[in-house]
Amino acid sequence: MFLERRALLTRQEKEEERGVLPTWNANTLFWNWRTAGVGHYKSWVFGLSFVLKQETMDRKLLPVIGLLLLCSLTDQTHPHKMHQKALTAQGQDCTAIKASTPNAQSGVYIIQPRGAHKTFKVYCEMLADGGWTVFQRRIGGEVSFDRKWAGYKHGFGNIEKDHWLGLANVWALTRSSDQTSVLRVDLWDFEGGAASAEYSHFRIGHEQAAYNLSVGTYKGTAGDAIRGRYSGIDQNGFGFSTVDRDNDGCSPCIFGDIATNDCASSERGGWWFSGCGSATLNGHWHPAGDNIGWASEVHWDTWKGPTPYSLRATRMMVKSM
């Protein structure tokens, strides 16, 4: 035992003579050896400069020193954990950004709507008629839209792909009393077709009003599914519903031989339901071949209907006027 310990110490002493010092590996949390060259290891930790001389280094202090170095490395590698700075807004919305920079390209921007207390990231579609702020996008089934109230309030998904921006953010975009907003809905089917709907005077209420929907005049090629294909299912004025917060007015709602008290559960997604209605773009997404005849779907019945048809892709955007 003594001879083994003596051999280990001799090997360590020889390594020290060659200028080999132990350094902390933050990824594995083990000691590794590397050549220090000049025999000194310098590191700034919490503002203090430690000069560790290999001739006098006490091995009992190595774990403590290593922990300090690890903390220093973590602080430098992830400065946002301790020194997070607010993102600087590039405009109050995508419309303002496009107006100030006419050649701005579509992509991710940072905005702070008028009266909002924080900034947030959005995807801007910079079109010929102005900048549009995207608040909903479906291009596949990678992201589940079957979420509770908190999820729909704060948003979810990847803003460059499938996502919901968040009701709180949409409210911030449309709340200003000295401007009006336009809602644009873009739809794509699996056969290569496309259609759109625009609504003037778009806004949603605050959370205490269940983020109730308000739209004005319709124009477009997709039909006015928000007001519905027939009477009694007009979604204009209704609050938002999720699986844990029901505002759809069903008690129950009857569809042929099917009765439901909860449209959000039936459709597997939140929306401004009124008797479930002719429109919901947040329902369960189905691939081609499985997209016709489903009760749970991504549908706009005034364009693809009356047989239930789940759309390939959707996009909802807002533009200030």
pLDDT tens for 267-318 read 899 999 988 889 999 999 999 999 998 767 899 999 997 888 999 999 999 9
Q: Report the alpha-carbon distance of residue 140 to residue 163 in Å, rounded.
A: 10
For residue 1, pLDDT over 90 is answered with no
The hierarchical CATH code for the domain 94-320 is 3.90.215.10
Q: Is the dihedral of CA 196, 201, 207, 208 positive or negative?
A: negative
Domain ranges of the chain: 2-83, 94-320
Query: Which pLDDT belongs to residue 21?
Result: 37
Length of the chain: 321
Contact 46, 86 (CB under 8 A): no
Higher pLDDT, 145 or 266: 145
The percent of residues in the chain predicted with pLDDT above 90, rounded, is 57
pLDDT tens for 173-186 read: 999 988 899 999 99
Phi/psi of residue 297, each to 5°?
-165, 175
pLDDT for 149-181, tens place per residue? 999 999 999 999 999 999 999 999 999 988 899
Q: What pLDDT was estimated at residue 272?
A: 96
- pLDDT bin (cut points 50, 70, 90) of residue 146 is very high
Q: Average of pLDDT values for 75-95?
A: 65
d(CA 149, CA 80): 29
Between 13 and 277, whose confidence is greater?
277
Q: CA-to-CA distance for 176 and 276, rounded, in angstroms?
A: 29
Average pLDDT over residues 121-144: 97
Q: What is the pLDDT of residue 295?
A: 67
pLDDT value at residue 36: 38
Tell me the average pLDDT across 53-66.
49
State the pairing for strand pair 107-111/120-127: antiparallel
Q: Are strands 48-53 and 194-199 parallel, antiparallel or unpaired?
A: unpaired
Q: What is the pLDDT of residues 213-250, one digit of tens each?
A: 999 999 999 999 999 988 888 999 999 999 999 887 77
How far is Cα 171 from Cα 165, in angstroms, rounded to an integer? 11
